[in-house]
Structure 1
Amino acid sequence: MGTVSLYTAETRRLSKRRFTRFFVLIALIVLGLLAGGTAYTHEKTTARTRAAAEAAADRAYQEQLGYAEQARQDCRKDPTSYGGNCDGISPPTRDQISAEQFLTPPFDFRADFPALVIAWAALLALVAFIIGASFVGAEWNSGGMMNLLLWRPQRLRVLSTKLSALLTWLAGLGVLSGAAWTGLFWLIATLRGSTAGMTPGAWQSLGLTGLRGLGLVLMAGAIGFGAASIGRHTAAALGVAIGVIVIFQFGLAIVLELARVRFYEAYLLPAWIGAWMVKSYDVVDYRAPCVYSATNSCEPPVLTITWQMAGGLFAAVSIIIVGVAMWTIRKRDIT
C-alpha cells in the first residue's frame, strides 16, 4: 500500500511541477507551429486552383516571350554583348512552363505524415530527457531525496518507483499527444490535401512507427533520469547530453572523416535514430572501392543498420545507465 501511495505522490508531483508544465507547453507550441506551417504551405488541388495555376503559367510564358523579344532587339543593336548569335535567343516552349509549378502542393497524409511522426518523436524525446533529468536531479540538489529516504529507507524501491512514475507519465503524454498529432494532420489532409491510400496496411505501418517513436521517448526519459541520478544534479545529465552532441557527434564526425574511417556515420547517433524510426538506415562508404555485380556495374559498399540493431543498442544504453543509477544509490552515501 505504501508503494502505491509513493507512486501516486510522485506522479502528482511530476505533473504539478512548473518545470514539467513549462517544457510540455514549449513542446506543444513548437508542434502547433509546425502543424500551422504545414497547413499554410499546402492546399487541396481543385478545379479553381488548377485554373488559377494555368492562368499563372500563361502569364509567365507571355513574360518569357517578352523577355526574349527584348533580348533579340538588344542583340541586334549590339551583337557583341550576346556573343554575336542573336538567332540563338529563344524563349522556353509553353510545355516547359507547367501549371504544376504554380500550384500549392496538397498535403498527402500517407506520403507526408510519417516524416512528421519522426519530428513529433524527436521533439518529445528531447523534452522527455530534460523532464526526466530534472525530475530526480532537482530533488537530489534540493535535499528532498535525503528527506524522503529518512522515512522510507528502501533506496532501490524509492528510485524505481520514481522511475516508474516518470515512464508511465511519459507514456501517457506520448499516447495523448500522438493521437492528437495524428488527428490534427488527418484534418489538415482532409481540408488541404488528400487521405487517399490509407489502407489497413498503411495504418499498421504508421502505428508501428508511432510505437517506435514512443519507445524512443521512454528511453530518452530513462536515460535522462539515470544520468541525473548518477550525477545527483540535473546539470549532470544535461552536461552528458551536451558532451555527446558536441564531442561525440560533431567532434567525432570530423575526426573519423579526416581519418577516413569506413562507414564513419555508423559511429554517430543520428544514423541509429534514423534506423530505429524508419526501420533501416544505409551508411554508404563512397571512398571505398566499388563493389561489382552482375546487375550493377559498380556500387559503393553499404552498411545497413536495422531497427532491431538500433533498438538493442538503445535498450542496452538505457539499462546500463539506469542500472548504474540503482547501484550508486544503493552503495553511495546519501549526504
Structure 2
Amino acid sequence: MRRLVGVELTRLRWRRAVQVLVAFALFVPILVFAITAWNTRSYSDAEMAEFQTQVDRDTNSIETQQSLKDCLDNPDDFGVPPGEDVQTTCEEWTLPQLDWYAFREPLNLDTERDAGSGVVVIALLAVLFALAGTTFAGHDWNTGSMSNQLLFEPRRGRVWLTKGLVVTLASGAIAAVVLAAYWTGLWVLAGARSLDPSGHSVWEGYQQGIRGTALAALCALCAYAVTMLFRSTVVTLGVLFGLSILAPILLALIAFPDNERWMPQTNIAAVMLDGTTYYGEMVCTSTTDELGNEIQECGDSTEHKLTLAGGSAYLLGLLALAAVPSVLTFRRRDVP
C-alpha cells in the first residue's frame, strides 16, 4: 500500500495540469494578499490635506449651502426626526464629511475573516483543487492508462482508495501551508501598521484556515470520486457547475419551508465561518377588523442558525453520494 501511494503521488506530482493548478494555488493568494494590503493602506498627510480642501470647497459651494438652507427651513421634508436638533442634523446630512472622500477602511482581521479575503482565498483553493482532483482521474481514463495500472494492481478497491487518498492529502497539505502563510502575513501586516491584531482574532483566522483546508481537500476528493464514476472530466465539470449554479436556482424556485438550509452555498458558508445565519419565509398572520375584512400582516423573515456540524454533515453527505457509487461501479464495470 505504501509503495502504491508513492507511485500515485509521483504521478500526481508530474501531471502538468496539476502543476499549473498548484502554481495558481500558490500565486493567487499572494495576489489577493497584495490587493488586500493595497486597499487597506493608510492615507498620507498630503492626501488627507487634499481631502480636507475638497471638503471645504464642496461645503462652501452654492448647491450645498442651498441644500442646508432648505433643510433648515423645511426639516420635515428632509425626514429630520422630531425632537432632534435641526441645525446639527441638517449639517450632518447635507454638508460633506471627510469620510465621504477618505473612504478606505484600515485592515481589520475580523472583517477579512468573516467577509473579506480569507473567504475568497478558501473559495479559490476549493475550486482549484476540485479541478486538480478531476483532471488527475480524468487523464487516466482519457489516455486508457487505467487498464495498464490495473495490470500491476488488480485490486480495484485499493487502487480507488489510494488515488483518492493521494488527492486528498496533497490538496489538504498545500491548502494548509497556503492558508497558514496567508494568515501569518495578515498578522505581520497588521503589526507593521501599528494595529492591534489581537491573539483572539489571529487564532480564529488560523481556525478558519483549518476548516478551509478540510473543505479544499473534500472538494478535491469529491471531484475525483465523480470523475471515477462518470470516467470523464467534462461530465464532472458539468456536475460541479450544476451543483454550484443550477441547484441553488432550482431550490429557490421550488417553494418549500426552509429551502435555504439545503442550498450548497449556505452549508459551505457554515463550514468556512464556523456557523452562519440564513432566513426562511416571511411570517404572515391574518386578522379580522371590526367590519369583518381580513387583514394580513407580514413581519420579518424567520432567522435560522446553521452550525458547523450541520454544514459539515451536509457536505459529507454529498461526498458519500459521489464516493459510494463511484467505488461500486469501479469495482464492477469493465475498464477499457
Partner SS state of residue 301, structure 1: strand
2:16 to 15, 18, 24: 18
CA shift for structure 1 position 167: 1.2
CA shift for structure 1 position 120: 1.0
| C-alpha distance in 2 between matches for 1:172 and 1:41 | 29
Q: TM-score under structure 1 normalisation?
A: 0.79
| C-alpha distance in 2 between matches for 1:328 and 1:194 | 58
Rate the CA distance shift 1:135–1:286 in 2: closer, same or farther, 3 A. same
| Paired residue type of 1:56 | Q
Show CA shifts across 1:114-143 (max 9, x none): 032211111111111111011112102211
| Paired residue type of 1:271 | T
Q: Unpaired runs of 5+ in structure 2?
A: 70-89, 286-297
Q: Which residue of 2 aligns with 1:223?
A: 222
Percent identity of paired positions between Structure 1 and Structure 2 = 21
| Paired residue type of 2:248 | Q
Following TM superposition, where does structure 1 have runs of at least 4 consecutive aligned residues deviating by more than 6 angstroms? none
Q: How many residues align?
A: 301
Show CA shifts across 1:75-113 (max 9, x none): xxxxxxxxxxxxxxxxx7489422222225243232332
Rate the CA distance shift 1:108–1:39 in 2: closer, same or farther, 3 A. closer
Partner SS state of residue 236, structure 1: helix
Q: Which residue of 2 aligns with 1:34?
A: 32
- Aligned alpha-carbon RMSD (Å): 2.9
Q: Which residue of 1 aligns with 2:198?
A: 198
1:103 paired to 2:116: no
CA shift for structure 1 position 171: 1.4
| C-alpha distance in 1 between matches for 2:195 and 2:162 | 43
| C-alpha distance in 2 between matches for 1:263 and 1:288 | 12
| C-alpha distance in 2 between matches for 1:208 and 1:151 | 42
CA shift for structure 1 position 194: 5.4
| Paired residue type of 1:57 | V
Show CA shifts across 1:198-240 (max 9, x none): 12x3233222211111111111011001000011121221121
CA contact (8 A) 2:39 2:104 kept: yes
CA shift for structure 1 position 332: 1.6
| C-alpha distance in 1 between matches for 2:64 and 2:91 | 13
Show CA shifts across 1:34-86 (max 9, x none): 33332332222566654444333223323x347657xx9xxxxxxxxxxxxxx
Higher mean alpha-carbon deviation, 130-139 vs 15-24, is at 15-24
| Paired residue type of 1:278 | L
Partner SS state of residue 285, structure 1: strand
| C-alpha distance in 1 between matches for 2:194 and 2:251 | 43
CA contact (8 A) 1:289 1:300 kept: no
Q: TM-score under structure 2 normalisation?
A: 0.79
Show CA shifts across 1:142-163 (max 9, x none): 1111101112112111221111
Q: Unpaired runs of 5+ in structure 1?
A: 73-91, 291-296
CA contact (8 A) 1:110 1:197 kept: yes
CA contact (8 A) 1:132 1:222 kept: yes
Q: Which residue of 2 aligns with 1:300?
A: 301
Q: Which residue of 1 aligns with 2:241?
A: 242
CA contact (8 A) 1:57 1:98 kept: yes
Partner SS state of residue 40, structure 2: coil
CA shift for structure 1 position 286: 4.5
Rate the CA distance shift 1:187–1:8 in 2: closer, same or farther, 3 A. same
CA contact (8 A) 2:29 2:178 kept: no
Rate the CA distance shift 1:234–1:179 in 2: closer, same or farther, 3 A. same
| C-alpha distance in 2 between matches for 1:304 and 1:224 | 28
1:113 paired to 2:140: no
Rate the CA distance shift 1:187–1:59 in 2: closer, same or farther, 3 A. farther
